Structure 1
Amino acid sequence: MKIGRATIEEAEQLIAVLSCNHKTKSSAVKTDILLKKYRLGYSARHLRMVIELIRKNDLAAPAFLVSNTQVGYWITSDLSEMKAFLNQELDRVSNQVDNINTLRMRLMSPKKSTDSKQLLIAMT
C-alpha cells in the first residue's frame, strides 16, 4: 500500500491506463474497479493524490482527467466534456462557498438554540 506523496511515475501510469481504456464518459471507470483491475498498488486516497497531481500540473494535456460521481474517471480531449466538468466543479465550489458563508454568519451572530419540544409544540 502506497503512503505519501504521489509521484510523476504514478501519474504517467494512470494517464496511460485511462488514455488507452477510458477516453469517454461512457467508458469511465469507478475508483474501486480502477484500483483492482489495473493493480495500481495504492489506496483510493492515494489515487486522489495522483489525480490531483495530474490536474494541478496539467499532465494529461492536451486532454484532461475528468470525473463524475456517478460514472467515475476518464481522460478526455472533447471540449464539451471538459466544459461540463468545469461547470460541475464550479457548481460544487459555489455550494461550498454558500455553506461557508452561512456558517461564517452563524458564528458572527449565533442564533438562539430552540428546544426540540418547543418546535414540536409550535408545529402542531
Structure 2
Amino acid sequence: MKQFGFPNTKRIRSQQDFSTIYSARQRAGDQCLLLFAVRNELNQTRLGVSVSRKNGNAIKRARKKRLIREAFRLIQHQLPKGLDLIAIPRPTVEADLKQYQSSLKRLSQKLNRRLEQKQSG
C-alpha cells in the first residue's frame, strides 16, 4: 500500500515552484482540467493543485482538491516521470474521480510529448 502514498516529496507547495511552472507556459486542457507542466530534475512526478473561488465556496473547492489529489495518487505510476504538474479544475464542470484520472493521464502524456519535442528540437 505504501506505493500508492502521496508524501510531501510529491507535492508542489512553494510559491516559487508554482511561478516557475506557470512561467514555462506549457499547458493543456480538456473539459475537466487545465494542466501546466515543466520538467524537473527528479525521477518522480509532483503535483500542485490550484482551485479558484470561481469553483464555489470553501467546501466545494476543498472537495475538488481532494478528488484531484486522490486521482493523482491512484494513477501516479502511469504518468510520465520527471514532471512538475499544476492541476486547475474547470469551474463549470462537476467531475468525478474517474474523469479526473483520465484527464490527468491524457493531459500529462500530451504535455510530456510536447516537452520532449521542445527539448530535442
Question: What TM-score comes out, normalization by structure 1 length?
Answer: 0.28
In our comparison, the structure showing a higher alpha carbon Rg is 1
Identify, as 1 or 2, the structure richer in helix: 1
Question: What TM-score comes out, normalization by structure 2 length?
Answer: 0.28
Identify, as 1 or 2, the structure richer in strand: 2
